[in-house]
Amino acid sequence: MPSLTSALYSGLPSSVFDAVAAAPYLSHDHEEAFSDSDAILTDDSSNLNRIMAFLFDPEKLSLVVAMAVIAVTLLLASIHRLMSTMKARPTVVIIGCGPTGMFFMHAVALRRQKMEEEGDVKGLAKLPEVTCFEKSSQPGGVWRSAQEAQSNAVARKHKEECASNPSMEEKKDEQQGDVEESTNMYEGLWTNGHGLLLEMFDYTFDDHFKRPVLSYMPRAAILDYILARVTRNNPNFFNDNTLFETSVDKVTYDKKIKKFIVTSTDLVTSKVSVGEYDKCIYGAGSNGKMKIPKSLRNILIKGNYQGQIMHSSEAGNCLDKFRGKRVLFIGDSSSAEDLALMGCKLGLERIYIYSRQGRGTCCETYCWPSNKVEVLYDQELTGVTQNGKGLRFVESHFNAKKSRYEREKHGEVNDLEDIDAVIFCTGYHLNDDMMDKSLFNKEDSNIDFRMPKNWRMKENALTSELGHIKPHKHLDIDTLFGTSYHYGGLDLSNPNLMYSIDCTDYPLLEIDIRSWFFLGCILGEITIPSRAEMIYEMRKTCREWMNIHGFRLEMDPNYRMQCYKLEDDHWSNDSEDDRTKAMTDEYYRESVLYLAEDMDSALYPVSFCTSDWRLNDDGEKFCDIYKISSHRLEHHPDEVDWRTFRDYHNDKYTSIYSGAKVIPLKQHWMDIDESNLSTVF
């Protein structure tokens, strides 16, 4: 049995021993008395009388009091330390329970599990208290289909109001329109990037699907996978931290108390609440609001266009209405490509894709099923014809330097007839209306990223032909950083405000890495640079990427304009030319190295690089998958009626984490029934 003194100290924090050193203050007689007390307590034949005699012995009464005082002091010190530790836990609010909200809370859960296994009491005491607000009734964010996202409190409340008040039925269409104005994915959507780029280190596709997967995956399957990832070890994962059917109305920051003040509304009860938080993570995604160019919309409205006008986020679930009809997509990136393929499957007669700048994914697609799709290059929409049913395009070229079209003198006119719908595949704006204007520092949005006057691009196969091209004074750095006022997602002026905005072709991995980075910053494991240091690093990265052809093509309008002037038969437009391959390889390799650097900075559990900053085996695998994911190969003439990029299969590519190979589709993608995805693989 331990001594009385050790019993008093057992289980108390080590710092208490340093703070309360009682032994030096005890006399020699007291030490002997402690020995007597140990003998009493350890003697199996001891009885109550002997204990009472010891406690009430006048000679030892002062020792008993001293022992009691020490015990109480130690207990109070322990309680004080515990309370201080509890107060020190940071509070974090997350806006949105899409991938950002889920993955951040999952990162916290993984860290908690590891700390518990290691007995890291101090670490556990530092983990943040998280509150996640989600407007919908379910987690998943835009990965939920628009139909699923509508089954929330707003729709139910309107239904209840109509039931109790028949006159409300007259407003049904108007209010239902508000509910349907969603930027969620549509029911039958598939991924445009390779599925293996979406796999997570701690829960593989093998773990979830129990069988090999496809190169390109249905949206619903990926949503099911990421939900299972966070709930498999904790079925109550969302119950612990998430407030569903709750909208965030306003976020401000009180500099005096250094807290975010968050006003929210329970959409079921209409109750308004106000909370204070140390950290705020914006996780409402980059697909918040539909982005429709006013100039193009005005042309349609003023010309009295008679067809339907909608955004791509609205079109997915109603595209079948245009069977046998002709449709125009404005925009040439992933949304247009995906909807065009769906349109081919659903039986649209003809699909036109209006490429405004000629550099989107659709421009790299060499062949479309049944040749139903035509991409319009070097043309400008100028008006409406055919009594509101047709559209007129005039030959022009896009001046990248001035960011506008310039018509060719005596240019050809291209009239499209009987266009039943115009669908804007023109992207999104952030839905950051809840973020108070005081949170934004205007200076952060006006940082000068111009290149030095004496800057020269590193030599490549093109520089000898193009010569020196003076960089544009306004570089498009959003492709690099998401926005100019974030450093790895940290707000430059207030790093307690964190934004999770994906801007790569592997968004889920990007969001997961950023979640670990945010957590490391909150726990104090990652040193947050000063604003000046952040800006310096961003400028440094910008200058490094301007030396790489692929990145400069995205960032610098002047360089892009000169490259576009090259003839169609120029070697740089031939994907099989060795010089083109070298520049393409450099682009993808540097992208993955940048990702690997983010992994290292975030203390992410996975690494893609070696100690000397070269891609390791996993990094090389990821790079190869990324390259093929972004490539649109030419079809064999016999495959032209059915072949899409989703039919592409190469068992060379395997899971980075399990080594499992992907499998081909059981049937042509064009023949798959979207309503029964259980038969897909």
Beta bridge partners of 394: 380, 413
Query: Which of residues 501 and 86 earns the better pLDDT score?
Result: 501
Query: pLDDT tens, 652-661?
Result: 889 999 999 9
Query: pLDDT tens, 424-445?
Result: 999 888 889 999 999 999 888 8
When mean pLDDT is compared across 52-61, 259-268, 305-314, 514-523, the lowest value belongs to 52-61
Q: What's the mean pLDDT in 189-199?
A: 91
Query: pLDDT tens, 508-519?
Result: 999 999 999 999
Structural contact between residues 140 and 227, judged by C-beta atoms closer than 8 angstroms: yes
Q: For position 289, what pLDDT does the model report?
A: 83
> Looking at the predicted structure, is the pLDDT value of residue 326 above 50?
yes
551 token code pair: 């990145």
Q: How confident is the model at residue 149 (pLDDT cuts 50, 70, 90)?
A: low
Q: For position 1, what pLDDT does the model report?
A: 39
- Provide the CA 50 distance to its chain's centre, in angstroms: 70
- pLDDT over 70 percentage in the chain: 80
Q: Residue 82: which H helix or E strand, with range? A: helix 61-88
Q: How confident is the model at residue 17 (pLDDT cuts 50, 70, 90)?
A: very low
Q: Residue 583: which H helix or E strand, with range? A: helix 578-601
Phi, psi of 213 (to 5 degrees): -110, 175
Give the helix ranges, DSSP H, for 188-311: 205-209, 219-231, 237-241, 294-302
Q: Residue 399: which H helix or E strand, with range? A: strand 390-399
Query: pLDDT tens, 448-495?
Result: 899 999 999 999 999 999 999 999 998 988 777 766 678 999 999 999
Q: CA dihedral in degrees (384, 386, 390, 395; nearest 10)?
A: -60
Q: For residue 166, give every residue at least 6 positions away whose Cβ sits within 8 Å of its Cβ, in sequence order, or none.
A: none
Query: Which of residues 236 and 9 earns the better pLDDT score?
Result: 236
Q: What's the mean pLDDT in 185-208?
A: 89
List, edge to edge, every strand of the sheet that includes 129-134. 242-244, 129-134, 91-95, 279-282, 497-499, 490-491, 486-487
Cα distance between residue 195 and residue 464, in whole Å: 39
> Looking at the predicted structure, is the pLDDT value of residue 668 above 60?
yes
Query: pLDDT tens, 122-131?
Result: 999 999 999 9
> Looking at the predicted structure, is the pLDDT value of residue 162 above 70?
no
Query: pLDDT tens, 546-599?
Result: 999 999 998 998 998 899 889 889 999 888 899 999 999 999 999 999 999 999
Query: Which of residues 277 and 39 earns the better pLDDT score?
Result: 277
Q: For position 628, what pLDDT does the model report?
A: 82
Q: For position 115, what pLDDT does the model report?
A: 97
Q: What's the mean pLDDT in 382-387?
A: 96
Q: For position 160, what pLDDT does the model report?
A: 60
55 token code pair: 């406690």
> Looking at the predicted structure, is the pLDDT value of residue 12 above 60?
no
Look at the chain and count its residues.
681
Query: Which of residues 271 and 650 earns the better pLDDT score?
Result: 271
Beta bridge partners of 264: 248, 273
Cα distance between residue 183 and residue 315, in whole Å: 10
What superfamily would CATH give domain 290-428?
FAD/NAD(P)-binding domain (3.50.50.60)
Q: How confident is the model at residue 306 (pLDDT cuts 50, 70, 90)?
A: very high
